[in-house]
Amino acid sequence: MLAVHFDKIWPNRDRAWASASIAPHVLDPAYLHDQPAAPERAIAEWQIDTEQATATLLSPGTALGHLVLPLDPMLGCFGVAPDRGQAISTATSGPYGGNMDYRGFRPGVTVFLPVFTEGALFFLGDGHARQGEGEIAGTGLEISMDVEFSVSLHPQAGTRWPRGETAGHLFTVGNARPLDQAVQHATTEMLRWLCDTLHLDELGAHILLGHCAEYDTGNVFDPAYTMVCKIGKNLLPAT
């Protein structure tokens, strides 16, 4: 298992671009049918102020004016080489990681990835200055980043799907389509983590997740969707 800790993720340019409209498959078909003048897949340009940590909408012109939002940088895509020597586009995701577009992949997070091939072949990219939950427009505020990270190998440990740890939570990631399958992967991986690694009994793990699990939505735009299952560390029994 490869552990990757993200120490720094920060924009290094003063412009970002993003889609200016929500992806059609995230909307009701009836709404799209009744909106013949729905927004086209236009591009929005944003000014990035790294000193003030803000993003300002420059174009297109809308009633929002020059909307100003705080930066919340994250990485949309990272992972290791998939198993069986596969060559898979970074547009999608799987047990190896990939294009998960989860806004929780920000500085301070440690991610645990299964290793399928010698050297792991870790990769990263797809910097977003900020992004809404689910990447429902198909992009975040796309921009290049300065990234600093540290890597450690855990040869006696294993995971089937990506796992992560923050100051307050443990989380697991499922990547699949349809969305319910992504939920299944994430929830099952959390059960494995609680029972196999943290040594909670099976019934106790089911009770804990049944009443305390939290779910975040990662990517719902690309070929595989991403769901995240979280549990607060304060709820875990002392070891």
Q: How far apart are CA 37 and CA 166, in angstroms?
A: 43
Q: Computed from CA positions of residues 124, 126, 132, 136, in that sequence, does the dihedral angle turn out positive or negative?
A: negative
Look at residues 79, 80, 75, 129 and name the one whose alpha carbon lies nearest to residue 106.
75
3-state secondary structure of 225: strand
Residue range 189-201: mean pLDDT, rounded:
94
Look at residues 59, 65, 46, 214 and name the one whose alpha carbon lies nearest to residue 130.
46
pLDDT band at 66 (very low <50, low <70, confident <90, very high): very high
Q: How far apart are CA 37 and CA 59, in angstroms?
A: 19
Residue 237 has pLDDT above 90, yes or no: no
Fold designation for 2-7+74-125+145-235: Endonuclease I-creI (3.10.28)
In the prediction, which pLDDT does 225 show? 97
Q: How far apart are CA 87 and CA 107, in angstroms?
A: 28
In the prediction, which pLDDT does 213 show? 98
Say if CB 137 and CB 21 are below 8 A apart: yes
Domain ranges of the chain: 2-7+74-125+145-235
Residue type, 41: R
Contacts of 193 by beta carbon, 8 Å cutoff, 6+ apart? 159, 163, 170, 172
Look at residues 60, 57, 17, 21 and name the one whose alpha carbon lies nearest to residue 37.
21
Residue 39 has pLDDT above 80, yes or no: no
Segment 106-155, tens digit of pLDDT:
999 999 999 999 999 999 999 999 999 999 999 999 999 999 999 999 98
3-state secondary structure of 63: coil
Look at residues 134, 182, 148, 139 and name the one whose alpha carbon lies nearest to residue 162.
182
Contacts of 239 by beta carbon, 8 Å cutoff, 6+ apart? 198, 199
In the prediction, which pLDDT does 239 show? 61
H/E/C letters for each residue in 136-198?
Answer: CCCCCCECCEEEEEEEEECCCCCCCCCEEECCCEEEEEEEECCHHHHHHHHHHHHHHHHHHHC
Segment 161-194, tens digit of pLDDT:
999 999 999 999 999 999 999 999 999 999 999 9
